[in-house]
Amino acid sequence: MAGRFLGMFRPLSRFMPEVKPPERRIGFNEKLFWTALALALYLVMSEVPLYGIGLGGEDPFRYLRVIFASRRGSLMELGIGPIVTAGLILQLLAGSGMVGCDFSDPTDRSLFTSASKVFSIIFIAFQASAYIIGGIFQVTDVRIAIIIFIQLLVAGVVLMLLDELIQKGWGIGSGISLFIMAGVAQNIMWASLAPTPPVGDGKSYGALIALSQTVLSGRSLGEVLLREGNLPSMLGFFATIVVFLIVIYFEGVRVELPIAHAGYRGFRGRYPIKLLYVSNLPVIFAAALFANVYFFSQILWNNYNQNNTNFWFNLLGQYKTVTEGGQSRIEPMGGLVYYVLSPQNLTDVMKDPSRAIIFTGIMVAFCIVFSITWLEVGGLGPSTVAKQLVDSGMQIPGFRRSQRPIELLLKRYIPVVAVLGGVVVGLIASVADFFGVFGSGMGVLLSVGILYQYYQLLMQERIAEMYPALRGLLGG
């Protein structure tokens, strides 16, 4: 039975744009087609400039681009930020019990999805308005401002529908994850191989291209190990490889509980509880929270506190204008925003070690909180898992085949693993940035997790395609 809050979205659900779930079984090749089509549309929108703005230019939100799959001056200016923020707020409301929602009830799930869409559209409109009113686009013509707003609103809704298209069963995995992975891959390729823009004495932007130039010119390799101006360095390149390997290792760490089927005595297996039990969702939620702190603090500073004289606004964020290579950019220098944005390299860490320590502590703390919250919201808690095992006819040898004893056993492992997993992803996401990892520590962490999930999904789809009798067992 839907709660009062979700019930308010029942009339609105009729007017929400929707992708209907397939009424027939979608084959593996067709799912690949729709997934590739959604990705292609996202990449095209990332290259289409906003009318009245154009691609490139000084980017006040460059720290957030990789995580939110956005690009400055394109139709993907907002990226998945508003969609993730809307989901974050609703999930926290549901997890805290402030919004009543039974996720096992199809009606509640449907209303929750409608509420997510409404919130997403509201946040798309709000963030687009904030960009325009806050002076991010520096547009003075009202007509151009209205056109920009409409472009961002339509692009945001299209992105939301592309995500729904994939999640409803037409594609494979999650559209949000797919877009994040594409953005991180682009960033890593650009940081490694980009021949432009030339900087200073003609050195290229990409780390590997700069390495080739250094070797051919006979200069010291120390020049590319650590580069000035936050340029991609070979230290960052090697750190990216190391972080990939570390995350791959932790993806395979798990506790396995023996299980047996009550109806088939010969059937035995193991129920895996991964160290990264709630996957990378805590990092996405933490990134969304930090991004909104950065977003609102910069808009407030840009409009009301450019001299850093307002005490209350200073608590949220203080900024300064830095000129480098003939270009000016805004950098955080104090307030909460200063400690929720990671130092970008070892030089920044050595300048202010306390910032690195505080940022790491905040990131780990929020990852733990979101890990614990997601256990219930995502249906991963001990009671839910115990019920699923019992309903599927499974039992744990040595325990009565009832939900209570299995739940007590799972409570020894799942909450502990969730907390440890939150600590691990928080540490990786924060510390990796200190070494200048390409695509950011969060981006690499998310990409490895997404690639691992896609590998599992693709294997399941292929097996289900080859052996249709196993489709029910695999959840297909």
**pLDDT bracket for residue 360 (50, 70, 90):** very high
> Which of the given ranges, 60-74, 172-186, 213-227, 392-406, has the highest pLDDT on average?
172-186
CB neighbour list of residue 9: distance below 8 Å, 6 or more residues apart: 111, 114, 115, 118
Asked whether residue 247 falls in the same domain as residue 371, the answer is yes
Per the model's pLDDT, the better-predicted residue between 135 and 164 turns out to be: 164
pLDDT at residue 291 greater than cutoff 50: yes
Asked whether residue 149 falls in the same domain as residue 241, the answer is no
pLDDT at residue 34 greater than cutoff 70: yes
Confidence at residue 104, expressed as pLDDT on a 0 to 100 scale: 64
Identify the residue whose tokens are 């490139």: 56
DSSP state of 19: P
Quick one: residue 97, left, alpha or beta (phi over 0 = left, psi -120 to 50 = alpha)?
left
pLDDT at residue 1 greater than cutoff 50: no
Asked whether residue 150 falls in the same domain as residue 244, the answer is no
Identify the residue whose tokens are 């390409």: 438
pLDDT at residue 365 greater than cutoff 90: yes
**Total of domains in the chain:** 2
Look at residue 191 and tell me if it is in a domain. no
Confidence at residue 200, expressed as pLDDT on a 0 to 100 scale: 45
* Percentage above 70 pLDDT, the chain: 87
Amino acid at residue number 141: D
Asked whether residue 268 falls in the same domain as residue 160, the answer is no
Residues 292-332 have pLDDT tens digits of: 888 888 888 887 888 888 888 889 888 887 776 556 677 88
Q: What is the CATH number of the domain that holds 283?
A: 1.10.3370.10
pLDDT at residue 39 greater than cutoff 60: yes
Nearest to 221 by CA among 207, 206, 211: 211
Look at residue 207 and tell me if it is in a domain. no
CB 38 within 8 A of CB 165: yes
* Phi/psi of residue 74, nearest 5 degrees: -105, 175
Asked whether residue 33 falls in the same domain as residue 128, the answer is yes
DSSP state of 257: E
Least confident window among 130-144, 244-258, 303-317, 454-468: 454-468
Q: Residue 90 CB: number of other CB atoms within 10 A? A: 22
Confidence at residue 364, expressed as pLDDT on a 0 to 100 scale: 93
> Which of the given ranges, 121-125, 198-202, 234-238, 387-391, has the highest pLDDT on average?
121-125
Helix or strand (DSSP H, E) at 243 = helix 234-251
Look at residue 213 and tell me if it is in a domain. no
Asked whether residue 287 falls in the same domain as residue 388, the answer is yes
Domain that holds residue 338: 230-320+328-476
Mean pLDDT of 350-376: 89
Report the mean per-residue pLDDT for the chain: 81
Q: CA of 266: how far to CAs of 260, 262, 263, 392, in Å? A: 8, 9, 9, 16
Q: Residue 397 CB: number of other CB atoms within 10 A? A: 9
Rounded to 10°, the helix 281-304/353-377 angle is 130
R_g of the chain, CA atoms, integer Å: 24
Look at residue 439 and tell me if it is in a domain. yes
Identify the residue whose tokens are 């823009």: 197
Look at residue 220 and tell me if it is in a domain. no
